[in-house]
Amino acid sequence: MEDLYDFTITYGLIPKVLPEFKQITAGGALLGTGIESSSFKFGLFERTVTQMEIITGEGSVMTIDKNKNADLFYSFSGSYGTLGILTLLEIELIEAKPFVQLSYHKITDYKTAVDKIAQISKNTEIDFLDSILFSRRNVIIMEGKMVGEFPKNSTFSKNSQKNFPSLKTQNTNNKQTPQKIKPTLSLRYFWSKWFYRHVFFVTNIDSEKEENDKGIVHKDFLPLKDYIFRYDRCAFWMGTFLEKDTLKYRLLLGWLRSSYVLYRMRKLWTARNFEEKLYTHDFIVPHENVEGFIQESIQKMFVHPLWLCPVTTNTSNVENDQIQNIIFSISDSRNKINQKKNSNLGKIQDDLFVNVGIYGLPDVVDFGVPYRECFDIVNKYMENFACFLNAKKFLYGSSYYSPQSFWRCYNKNVYDKIRSKYNAHLFPDIYQKIGNCGLRSKLSNLNKNEK
C-alpha cells in the first residue's frame, strides 16, 4: 500500500480506499478484504476496483469487469485466491491534499458513540471517519478532512495538472489564498509516538482541552501519508503486547514495530504463539447490531481498545441480478437482513456497517479449563454470534467454523456454481483454505506431508 500511495501521490491522487498497513498488497486487500477510514464513503477496497486481470484454473488470462464475466468479477473479492490468481487491478482514485485536519470527539457512552458514528457518516464534507473504543465509557471518534494545496511548482502539482486537466481547472478556479498549514503531529519516524497512545493522551490526559460547541475536544493537522499509515507502527496496538511505549524503548527498538515486521512475526509464529493467545479479528457488523456485538465481545473477552470503522455497502452501481454474486462481502449480509425483515433481528437502516477490530489478549475466565480451550470456545462463540447478527468476519486469522456453520454465513450454491463455471477446482475450496483453524491445520498437514 505504501508503494501504491507513493506512486499515485506523484499525480496528486490517492486510491479511494487505502488500507492502513504499509505492507498490505493490492491482491491481499482485494482477496482478503481491505478497509480504511474512507470506507464510510466508498465501501470496502473491492468497491473501488473497476477491472481485474486474472489467471483462471485452466491457465488462461482473462480481463473481467462489471460488464464482462460480471459474476466472476463480483465473486472474486474476498475469495482468498480460490477462484483464480489476480495479476492486475484497475482502481478508482481521488484528488489528494497534503494534510489531514483531524478532529476528535470524546463520547462517554459506547451506545451513544455508535449512533454518533452513524450521524457523522452522513456528513459528505469529511473524508475520513473512524473511532477507538478505549472502554465502554471512553470512545474517541475521529473525523478527518484533507486540507491544504500542494505548492504550485511541486512534482505533485505539475504531474497532476499535466495528466489530469480537470483537476487543473479545479485548482486554478480556487481563488482563495492557499491555507498555510503547520502540522501539529508527525508519525513519520520510528521513535514517533504510537498513534493510539497520542489519541488517548490528547483526549484524556491533556485536561486543558475543552469541548467546543461541535463536541470536538482536540484537533490535529498531520501530513496525509502520516495519517493514512497512522496505525502502521505498533499495528494498531498489537506492538504493545511485546513492549511498552516509552521514548527510550522506541529509540532502541521502535524500528521493529512497523506492521511489516509485526505481520511477518505473526505469520511465522501463528500456530505457536499468536493465534492461540492473541485474539486478532475484524468483524463487519450491520450498524443496527453493533451495540449488541460490542457488548458481547467486551463481556466475553474484555479486550480493549476496539477499533470501530464505519463502512457502507456501496452497491448502488451494481446491477440487481449481480448482488447475489458478491458472496464474501457485506452486501450479502444486507440481503439476508432484508429477507428477514419481519424477524426481530433489529430494524433495517440504510447501508451502514461498522468494522469492529478486536486485537488483544482476551481475559477468558478459566473454570479450571486451560486457557487454550477457553480461547477456542470464545473464538467459536464469537463466530456464531457474528453469523447470527449477519456480521462478516475477515478470514485472515484462524477460523473455527465447522463446514455447516461456515456455509451458513456464505452462499455455497453460488460459490460452487462459479467455481465450476470457471474451472477453479485447481485451487483449494475456500473452506479448505481458511476454515476450521485454517493456519493451524494447514501447518499440521504440512508437517504430516513432509514426514
Ligand X SMILES: Cc1cc2nc3c(=O)[nH]c(=O)nc-3n(C[C@H](O)[C@H](O)[C@H](O)COP(=O)(O)OP(=O)(O)OC[C@H]3O[C@@H](n4cnc5c(N)ncnc54)[C@H](O)[C@@H]3O)c2cc1C
Strand bridging mode 279-286 / 128-135: unpaired
Residue owning grid cell 516509552: 246
DSSP 70-108: HHHHHHHTTSTTSS-EEEEEEE-EEE--SEEEEEEEEES
* Smallest separation (angstroms) from ligand X to the CB of 307: 7
Which residue from 11, 40, 74, 80 is in contact with ligand X, where contact means CB under 6 A? 80
Question: Interface residues for ligand X in 354-383 (CB under 6 A)?
Answer: 357, 359
Site pattern 391..430 for ligand X (x: CB under 6 A): ---x-x----------------------------------
* Smallest separation (angstroms) from ligand X to the CB of 57: 12
Query: In DSSP terms, which residues pair with 360 in a beta bridge?
Result: 279
* Smallest separation (angstroms) from ligand X to the CB of 341: 30
Q: Does residue 235 bind ligand X (CB under 6 A)? A: yes
Q: In whole angstroms, give the CA distance from residue 230 to residue 37.
A: 11
Q: Does residue 78 bind ligand X (CB under 6 A)? A: no
Q: What angle do CA 149, 150, 154 make, to 5 degrees?
A: 160
Nearest CA to 235 out of 208, 258, 210 is that of 258
Buried b (16+ CB within 10 A) or exposed e, 45-66: bbbbbeebebebbeeeebebee
Which residue from 14, 86, 132, 284 is in contact with ligand X, where contact means CB under 6 A? 86
Are 345 and 389 contacting, i.e. CB atoms less than 8 angstroms apart? yes
Beta strands in 373-448 (DSSP E): 392-393
* Smallest separation (angstroms) from ligand X to the CB of 371: 20
* Smallest separation (angstroms) from ligand X to the CB of 425: 16
Question: Would you say 133 or 337 has its CB closer to ligand X?
Answer: 133
Are 392 and 401 contacting, i.e. CB atoms less than 8 angstroms apart? no
Which residue from 238, 294, 308, 389 is in contact with ligand X, where contact means CB under 6 A? 238
Q: Does residue 32 bind ligand X (CB under 6 A)? A: yes
Cα-trace Rg, the chain: 22
* Smallest separation (angstroms) from ligand X to the CB of 123: 22
Question: Interface residues for ligand X in 47-76 (CB under 6 A)?
Answer: none
* Stretch touching ligand X by CB under 6 A, among 32-40, 143-151, 176-184, 344-352: 32-40
* Smallest separation (angstroms) from ligand X to the CB of 176: 34
* Smallest separation (angstroms) from ligand X to the CB of 229: 11
Read off the DSSP letter of residue 340: T
Are 237 and 223 contacting, i.e. CB atoms less than 8 angstroms apart? no
Grid coordinates belonging to 350: 440504510
* Smallest separation (angstroms) from ligand X to the CB of 401: 16
Which residue from 51, 57, 63, 85 is in contact with ligand X, where contact means CB under 6 A? 85
Total of residues contacting ligand X (CB under 6 A): 22
Question: Interface residues for ligand X in 168-197 (CB under 6 A)?
Answer: none
Q: In whole angstroms, give the CA distance from residue 371 to residue 277.
A: 8
Which residue from 11, 14, 15, 20 is in contact with ligand X, where contact means CB under 6 A? 20
Question: Would you say 102 or 235 has its CB closer to ligand X?
Answer: 235
Which residue from 56, 138, 240, 280 is in contact with ligand X, where contact means CB under 6 A? 280
How many residues in total does the chain contain? 451
Please report, in angstroms and rounded to a whole number, the separation of the first and last CA atoms in the chain: 38
Grid coordinates belonging to 271: 500456530
Binding site for ligand X (CB under 6 A): 19-20, 24-25, 27-29, 31-32, 34-35, 80-81, 85-86, 235, 238, 280, 357, 359, 394, 396
